[in-house]
Amino acid sequence: MSYVSVFTLSVLMLLAFIYLYTSNYMAQQTDATIETEIKSLSERYETDGLNGLIQSIAERVSRKPAGSEILLLVDPALNTLVGNLNRWPNVPGTPDGWLNFRLERSAWGDGAIHWARAQRFRLPEGFLLLVGRDLHDLEMSKKAIARTLSWSLVIAAVLALLGGLAMTRGLLKRLEIINQTSSEIMSGDLTRRIPTNNTNDDFDQLSNNLNMMLDRIETLMEGVRRVSDNIAHDLRTPLARLRNHLDELNEESVNNNADAESIDQAIQEADGLLATFNALLRIARIEAEEQTDYFTAVKFNEVVQDAAELYEPLAEEKGQQLYVESAETNPYVQGDRGLLSQLVVNLLDNAIKYTPEGGNIRISVSVQSNQAYLRVSDDGIGIPEAEREKVFQRFYRLESCRSSPGNGLGLSLVRAIVELHQASMNFEDNSPGLMVVISFPITHAIAGS
Amino acid sequence: MRLLVIEDDKKTAAFLCKGLKENGHIVDHAGDGKDGLFHAMESEYDVIVVDRMLPELDGLSIIRTLRAAKNNTPVLVLSALGEVNDRVQGLQVGGDDYLVKPFAFSELMARLDALNRRSDGDVSQTDMRVADLEMDLLSRVVKREGRVIDLQPREFRLLEYLMKHAGQVVTRTMLLESVWDYHFDPQTNVIDVHISRLRSKIDKGFSQPLLQTIRGAGYCLRAQN
């Protein structure tokens, strides 16, 4: 509705402009004609004197059919000499000689009041010449134009209204489809999608975007269902064990046999659970994290060296060899040192854990085409190709490893950190064993802390 | 030690105060921020334990106010918020240590001891000594019974921290934080392995074992009396 009124207003202004311009033009033309006549008459006067002038005027006035000319020649005492006006109009003129006055009785017998415009021309010896035009025809034209333009305005408004209604109806129908589908989805059917017209117009783009969002929601919900199942399963066991310990303690305390060992075990179980929950929470937070303002330029060689130093004794205990290779030029990675360290630590932990005694583990940092590459490789049991996507799932443990210590969250955390740092991660076969390759974009910012 | 505990959760507060008193400390307790700040300004404490989330006035604001009033009592922040930024925030406003809930009581005790020792005038010593174990910080030389012990840089830092806190319980987390600057739990007994390596260098073959394991808590470097 408001668009229609805006449109109508614009058209009105446009038409008003046209009208004013046209009528102004017509008025100017009239004045120009009058001036031209005055000029030609004054030339006649110059060549043929007063007589010639009177002749000219008489000639023009008696022409049939009568035009809209107004001509009047008076003597200094305002007595009419010749012309088609009774007398000199009783109106003051403008300083440059223009007069606007009313014609008392039209010579054309239609009884209407006509306005006239004329210019006064002073002849030598005080004679006055009045040359002008009956503006009636002009007025009629102007009225006709105004009428036409007004009708145009009305038609334009009506067309705008009809057009608007037609378009709106089309839009409303599209919106209706979207709304309808949305309520069906909300009332439970997550598999529905919004139909599109395949015209790729704005509505289709909107529908496509909404459909993609729905796809994502469906995936997430699937994920949540799966994770809840895993969580339930994997946390129930330690919880059950904890309960058993406490049960035992209960009995033992009845017999005054409460064993420090049992209490320790119970506490350990509880700590294990807490650690798992903390890890879960950490992963969830990192995944949900959008803020990376606190990131600084971290020297990546050091991150790897520190982590390797932490784990080296563990590798040694297992008779494993840990090789560390740093990049020649220490690359700076934009990120959080703590998180990056945890990432490397998790990978090293896995490498040591899943490699038998006497095995080899290699960790290296290298720079290639503006990326910092972290490679952790071992000659352990590796990850079968089929399970390489699955290992990122929370609590996922390879069948062969179910009995070894660990909560199955290490790689989930690694992936969350990789994504937060805009890096990319791949598994490769080390034949035997696994090679983890992560590449980080290098930052050229000046080092922070 | 004279301690102030500002914690609004009744059960946690009761648990903390009881445990601390049982360990021989004098404990004052405040249940909300305003009361806590009042106590902190009114009396002298060795360490203040403050929870981040408090009614009336939050923990960080209390610390900020104390520091602005030139009160430099060591403060340990307790929090359920454990993310990187939260910790940094807590330390930036003037906190001295940050402990994430839930924590083991022994962890809290160890850290309180460490904070108290620190505030006992941190004159930088160039020489440290526990029984017959000597460490020269300038020349980076460690000797026991007069014999030089060869330590790798990280082992040196580990021993340095233990010696700085000689006689106090030092937890695995504290070691990880001070020697590696890691604020996460690696979930393996990685620190234990480092300690046993250190032990084999400084204790094996000498008169008495100085590096002791405190069950359920951590380690302690001290002479057996």
Edge-to-edge strand ranges of the sheet holding B141-144: B127-130, B133-136, B141-144, B147-149
pLDDT digits (tens, 9 = 90+) for B79-122: 887 666 788 888 899 999 998 887 888 889 999 988 887 655 44
Q: Would you give the DSSP letter of residue B178?
A: I
Which residue in B has a C-alpha nearest to residue A268's C-alpha?
Answer: B216
- For the cut 70, the answer to whether the pLDDT of residue A105 exceeds it is no
Gap from B175 CA to chain A (nearest CA, Å): 11
Q: What is the pLDDT of residues A72-89, one digit of tens each?
A: 888 888 888 888 888 888
Nearest residue in chain A measured CA to CA from B154: A309
- CB-side neighbour CA atoms (13 Å) of A151: 5
For the cut 80, the answer to whether the pLDDT of residue A290 exceeds it is no
From residue A57, how far is each of A116, A269, A449 by CA, in Å?
18, 127, 104
- Token readout for A142 is 């102007």
Q: Which residues of B touch A349 (CB under 8 A)?
A: 186-188
Is residue A449 scored above 70 in pLDDT?
A: no
- Of A45-49, A177-181, B182-186, which gets the smallest average pLDDT? B182-186
Nearest to B193 among A279, A314, A339 (CB): A314
Per the CB < 8 A criterion, the answer to whether A360 and A320 are in contact is yes
The CA-to-CA distance between both ends of chain A, in Å, stands at 61
3-state secondary structure of B201: helix
CA A253 to mean position of chain CA atoms? 69
Fold of the domain built from segment(s) A202-288: Helix Hairpins (1.10.287)
Of all residues in chain B, the one with the smallest CA distance to A343 is B186
Q: How confident is the model at residue A109 (pLDDT cuts 50, 70, 90)?
A: low
Q: B77: which 2 tokens?
A: 């922040």
Mean pLDDT (whole number) for A328-338 = 90
Q: How far is CA B66 from the centre of its chain?
A: 21
B225 has a pLDDT exceeding 70:
no
From chain A, the residues in CB contact with B194 under 8 A are 310, 313
Q: Which residue has the tokens 């290779």?
A: A325
Q: From the list A285, A310, A406, which residue is nearest B180 (CB)?
A: A310
Alpha carbon distances (Å) from A398 to A106, A336, A428: 113, 30, 17
| Whole-number average pLDDT of chain B | 88
Question: What residues form DSSP beta bridges with A71?
Answer: A131
In DSSP terms, B219 is beta-bridged to: B170, B213
pLDDT of amino acid A86: 80
Task: Give the model's pLDDT for residue B198.
Answer: 93
Asked whether the predicted pLDDT for residue A192 surpasses 90, the reply is no
Max mean pLDDT range (A64-78, A272-286, A366-380): A366-380
- What's the CATH fold of domain A296-441? Heat Shock Protein 90 (3.30.565)
pTM tops 0.90, yes or no: no
Q: Look at residue A154 and tell me whether its pLDDT is greater than 50.
A: yes
Question: Peptide bond preceding A432: is omega within 30 degrees of 0, i.e. cis?
Answer: yes
Tell whether the model's pLDDT for residue A448 goes beyond 50. no
Rounded Cα distance between A38 and A120, Å, is 9
Q: What is the signed CA dihedral for A82, A86, A88, A90, rounded to 10 degrees?
A: 180
Return the residue matching tokens 């990131």: A295
Domains belonging to chain B, first-starting first, are: 2-119 (3.40.50.2300), 127-221 (1.10.10.10)
CATH architecture of the domain with residue range A2-141? 2-Layer Sandwich (3.30)
A394 in Cβ contact with A231 (< 8 Å): yes
ipTM of this model? Answer: 0.82
Inter-chain touch B186–A339, beta carbons under 8 Å: no
Burial class (CB within 10 angstroms; exposed 0-12, middle 13-18, buried 19+) of A208: middle
* Chain-centroid distance, C-alpha A240: 53
Q: Which of A346, A310, A353, A368 is nearest to A436 (CA)?
A: A346
Q: Which of B102, B183, B193 sits opposite A313 (nearest CB)?
A: B193
Residues A348-365 have pLDDT tens digits of 999 998 899 999 999 999
Least CA distance to B194: which residue of chain A? A313
- Quick check: A191 pLDDT over 50? yes
Cβ separation B188–A314 shorter than 8 A: yes
**CA A20, CA A323: separation in Å to the nearest integer?**
91
Let me know if the fold of A2-141 is the same as that of A202-288: no
Q: Across chain A, what does the average pLDDT equal?
A: 84
Q: Where are the domains of chain A?
A: 2-141, 202-288, 296-441
